[in-house]
Amino acid sequence: MPRAAVATFRLTPGRLLAAGCAAALVGTAAAQAGGDPLYVPDVSRLIPAARDKASLTSSLQILVVMTLLTVAPSLLLMMTSFARMLIVLVLLRQALGTQQLPPSQVLVGLALFMTFLVMAPVFGQINEQAVQPYLNDEIGQLDAIGVAGGHLRSFMFDQIEEAGNQQDVYMLYEYAAQRSVPETETISRSDVPTTALIPAFMLSELKLAFILGFRIYLPFLVIDMVIATVLVSMGMMMLPPVLISLPFKLLLFVLADGWHLIAGALMASVGT
C-alpha cells in the first residue's frame, strides 16, 4: 500500500471524530434555538471573569497590594527617617570599637521601630485619609495614592527645611526642569516633582546623619587619643590603644546612659 494511502487511512478516523463532534454541537445548538441553524451559544458563560466584575476588581486589588509590598523596602529607605537612624547607630558602634556588637540585626530592628514611632503621625494621616476611604470604596486607587503621596511629600519638605538643605532641592529641580534657577526665584512645593524631591530628601538625611554621627564620635575619639598618648609616654608602644580604651569608653557610655540619650536625640531630630 502506498505511503500516501497509509497516511490518509491513519488520518481518516480523526477527521471523522472531529466531524461527528461538530455535528453534535450544531445539533445541540439548533435544538436549543428551536431549530434555528444560525443560533450561536453564549461562550461568555464559560468565562467567570466576564460575568463577574467583582473578581476582576479583587484581582486588581491583589495586584496593587503585591506591588506595594514589593516596593515597600525602597519606600521605607527613601521616604522616611530610617536611613538617618541606621547610619547614626552604625557610627556609634564604630566609635565604641565593639566590632560586631551590637549585631547588625539589632541595630536595624532598633532603627526600624524608632522610624515607625516617629512616623506614626504621618502614617496615621495616610491611613485615615487614604487607606480607609479606599477600602470603603469612597475614593479610587489613584486618588488614594495621591493623598498618601501628598502627606509623604509634606514630611520630606519639612525635614529638608528644618535641616536647612534647600539647596539640594534647587539643584535637583534644575536637573528635572532642564534649566537654571536664579537665586531670586522662589519655587513652591507643588513645582518640585517627586522624582527630584526624593533624592533631595535622601541627600539631606545623609548630611544630617553624618553630622549627628560626628558629634557622637568626637568624645570617644578624645578617649582614644588620651589613652594613646599615655601609652606612648609610658613606652608601651607595642600595646594597642584600643585594647585599653575600650573598657573606658564602655564605662563612660554606660554611666552616661548612652542608649537613652542617643535614642532620644534621634527621635527629637525628626520633627513631624
Residues 83 and 32 in one domain: no
Q: If DSSP codes are grouped into helix, strand and coil, which group holds residue 202?
A: helix
pLDDT at 57: 63
Residue 119, domain member (yes or no) = yes
The domain in which residue 228 lies consists of 79-269
Residues 83 and 167 in one domain: yes
Residues 36 and 83 in one domain: no
pLDDT at 183: 66
Q: What is the mean pLDDT of residues 76-87?
A: 86
pTM exceeds 0.85: no
Q: What is the mean pLDDT of residues 71-90?
A: 83
Cβ–Cβ < 8 Å for 122, 151: yes
pLDDT of residue 55 exceeding 80:
no
Least confident of 10-19, 71-80, 90-99, 253-262: 10-19
Indicate the pLDDT class of residue 17, thresholds 50, 70 and 90. Answer: very low
pLDDT of residue 108 exceeding 80:
yes
Average pLDDT over the chain, rounded to whole?
75
Q: What is the mean pLDDT of residues 9-24?
A: 45
Cβ–Cβ < 8 Å for 242, 97: yes
Q: How many domains does the chain have?
A: 2
Residues 34 and 83 in one domain: no
Residues 18 and 88 in one domain: no
pLDDT at 56: 52
Residues 149 and 21 in one domain: no
Q: What is the mean pLDDT of residues 109-127?
A: 89
Give the helix ranges, DSSP H, for 140-271: 141-163, 166-177, 194-233, 241-255, 258-269
Residues 16 and 86 in one domain: no
Residues 89 and 180 in one domain: yes
Which segment, 8-12, 134-138, 240-244, 266-270, is predicted with the most confidence on average? Answer: 266-270
Residue 154, domain member (yes or no) = yes
Residues 154 and 27 in one domain: no
Q: Which residue has the higher pLDDT, 257 or 38?
A: 257
Which segment, 22-31, 57-66, 70-79, 195-204, is predicted with the most confidence on average? Answer: 195-204
Give the span between the Cα atoms of 141 and 68, in whole angstroms: 12
pLDDT of residue 21 exceeding 50:
no
pLDDT at 256: 84
Residue 47, domain member (yes or no) = no
pLDDT at 264: 87
Q: What is the mean pLDDT of residues 191-217?
A: 87
Asked if the bond preceding 102 is cis, omega within 30° of 0, the reply is yes
Residues 188 and 108 in one domain: yes
